[in-house]
Amino acid sequence: MALDRWIALVLLGVCLAYGYAAWFAMDANLAPFMRRAPIWPSTFPKVLSILGILASVIILLGLEKGEAKIGDIDYRRLGDYHIGQALLLLGLMVAYALCLRPMGFLFSTIAFLMLGSAILGERRWIIMAVVAAIATFVVWYLVQQVLGIYLRPVPWFIGG
């Protein structure tokens, strides 16, 4: 069996377990007044589990396969792809998640966007800094001021 089908089989098992939890475990603890609501807290997990099961079954049955295209990933030639960049980006995401609270949203997000674009090959540092700063401040303003969700903007030692 091909690698994509093995992955689909594992995802099918995960989606089945997630669906079981969404359909049976989550609904058992609902308060009586919530049982009459049209949308329950388990509605989105139920939809996700159904979509995941459908996608996994489609891949397992091979229904998504057409003719092989030039851009398709060949798992036998994984060394030819930019796996180093992908692993660096994953590591950067973990570092961003760990630095977000102690270093503040603004510094962490600007650093993440600049380092991420540098990993992907961008070398125009001025443009990277301007775009990262504008995007970060816009997102911070929308979340903090418009939605009213507190994000620590600066590191704790500055007084954030």
* Residues 86, 18: Cα–Cα separation, whole Å: 27
* Residues 95, 28: Cα–Cα separation, whole Å: 37
pLDDT band at 36 (very low <50, low <70, confident <90, very high): confident
Would the CA dihedral through 61, 63, 66, 72 be positive or negative? Answer: negative
Say if residue 148 is exposed, middle or buried (CB neighbours under 10 Å; 0-12, 13-18, 19+).
exposed
Residue 85: partners with Cβ closer than 8 Å, 6 or more residues away: 119, 120
DSSP structural state of residue 62: T
Residue 26: partners with Cβ closer than 8 Å, 6 or more residues away: 40, 41, 42, 45
- What is the model's pTM? 0.55
Contact 106, 158 (CB under 8 A): no
Per-residue pLDDT tens for 99-158? 888 888 889 999 999 999 999 988 899 999 999 999 999 998 988 888 787 877 777 667
Per-residue pLDDT tens for 55-101? 999 988 887 776 656 556 666 666 777 788 889 999 999 999 998 88
